[in-house]
Amino acid sequence: MRAVSNFLSWLFLPLFTPVYGLLIVLFVPSTPKSFLRLDSLYEYPLKAKLLFILLFTVLIVFAPGLSFIVLRLNKTITSLSMENREERMTPIALMTFYCLILYLFLLYQPNNAMIPSVIMGMTIGGAFASFIAFHITKVMKISLHGIGMGALAGFVFMYYTGMEYFSIYALIAVFLAGGLVLSARVYLNAHTLKQVGFGYALGFVTQILAIFVYQIIDK
């Protein structure tokens, strides 16, 4: 059981969940409620899909990952798992920074770059979640896995609210994965039920609100 819990913890590292969310909405078939075909990210050209994945992988996975390795080498953190609450402050601040860089990069693309509001909302929602987590971490070791899985669920859920047809199985899988990962973190004694619950709620709510507001502004 411990081996499975460790595997789930590494498979669903918070750095990976935005990319997982993109893979779901870009490659799992969906049909929009509107008459605009490109309101479905599934209908985007393959080149655009790959560019989104590349961009998120570089700025949300590789860049923070390399930064965390540097922090480990200079002993700012004692472990990449960041088990110590105080050591999490700098990595979380870095995640906020990278989310903002990604958001600004997308924001200042040409008007014909086809950046959907749901992705813009997801990006700024990630920045807000990291910013709030930074302050919560001063008093409580909130679960970063919880935030990541909650954000994944919130993003996919909000995207699917605009679809006439979507895969209910993909949505169920996202929620089930969240339950499994949070259970694994509690089983490993990495967090309490309260910490994973607060983390999941923070990730989910920030995505819901950010995407909802951004879609209103974008109209």
The pTM (predicted TM-score) of the whole model is: 0.93
Angle value at C-alpha 96, between 95 and 99, nearest 5 degrees: 85
Which amino acid, 96? T
Q: Which residues contact 3 (CB under 8 A, 6 or more apart)?
A: none
The string of pLDDT tens digits covering residues 11-27 is 999 999 999 999 999 99
Token pair in block for residue 205: 């709510």
Domain ranges (residues) in the chain: 2-218
The string of pLDDT tens digits covering residues 90-135 is 889 999 999 999 999 998 887 656 788 999 999 999 999 999 999 9
CA 112, 113, 114, 115 torsion: positive or negative?
negative
pLDDT at 206 over 60: yes
Token pair in block for residue 20: 């997982």
Q: Could you tell me if 25 and 41 are in contact, meaning their C-beta atoms sit under 8 angstroms apart?
A: yes
Which amino acid, 33? K
